[in-house]
Amino acid sequence: MNNKSVCVYCGSRSGAMPAYTQAARSFGTMLAHEGWRLVYGAGDVGLMGEVARAAQTAGGDTFGVIPEHLVRREVGKSDLTTYVVTETMHERKKVMIMNAEAVVVLPGGPGSLDELFEALTWRQLGLHDKPILVMNVEGYWDMLRVLVERTIDQGFADPSLGAFMTWVSSPEEAIAALRQTFG
């Protein structure tokens, strides 16, 4: 174990394409094989559950954070290495990012977008300098990339916003980028 932790934001649903589930499983397995701890939203549903179960099966360390009001809805996965129940969503996001050295965003919905944009905003404000990787499985995040570029082009964000995000298309590319970051 090299004591690195990766915060993963992803859907509490599985999405429409089997490739999303496969990417979540592969990434969870790869994190464990690297000896890196998974930090995630502590749900046992959707892609969240897939990435956590894969990491656990591969012998990985798991750190889950879930707000009290979502324990039933997202089926809080209490068999993790570390399981934290927070009072609020904001507290969940803060605990997750502060307990990781990098952020990886897999396909997901509004919650994943909220987490990504909060991490980006915090980085832009200098509250952290952690790498943020967006795993664009099967082009899922293509329109997000266009939106971020448009935000910059239209003067609503500094060009550094785009530089804070590393775009990868697979778990393998994400692991390779993290290896470079972690040294």
Q: Which residues pair with 166 in a beta bridge?
A: 133
Do residues 25 and 58 touch, judged by C-beta distance below 8 A?
A: no
pLDDT at 43: 95
Where b means 16+ CB within 10 Å and e means fewer, 46-73 reads bbbbbbbbbbbeeebbbbbbbbeebeee
Domains and CATH numbers, the chain: 5-182 (3.40.50.450)
pLDDT in tens, 10-65: 999 999 999 999 999 999 999 999 999 999 999 999 999 999 999 999 999 999 99
Q: Flag whether pLDDT at 1 surpasses 60.
A: no
175 touches 161 (CB < 8 A): no
In this structure, which amino acid lies at residue 151?
Answer: T
Strand spans (E) along the chain: 5-9, 37-40, 62-67, 82-86, 102-105, 132-135, 165-168
* Mean pLDDT of the 82-104 span: 97
- Model pLDDT, residue 74: 86
pLDDT of amino acid 35? 97
Q: Which of 116, 45, 21, 28 is nearest to 66 (CA)?
A: 45
pLDDT at 2 over 80: no
| Contacting residues for 16 by C-beta, under 8 A, at least 6 apart | none
Which amino acid would we find at residue 63?
Answer: F
Q: What tens digit of pLDDT does each residue of 114-132 get?
A: 999 999 999 999 999 999 9
Terminal-residue alpha carbon distance, the chain: 14
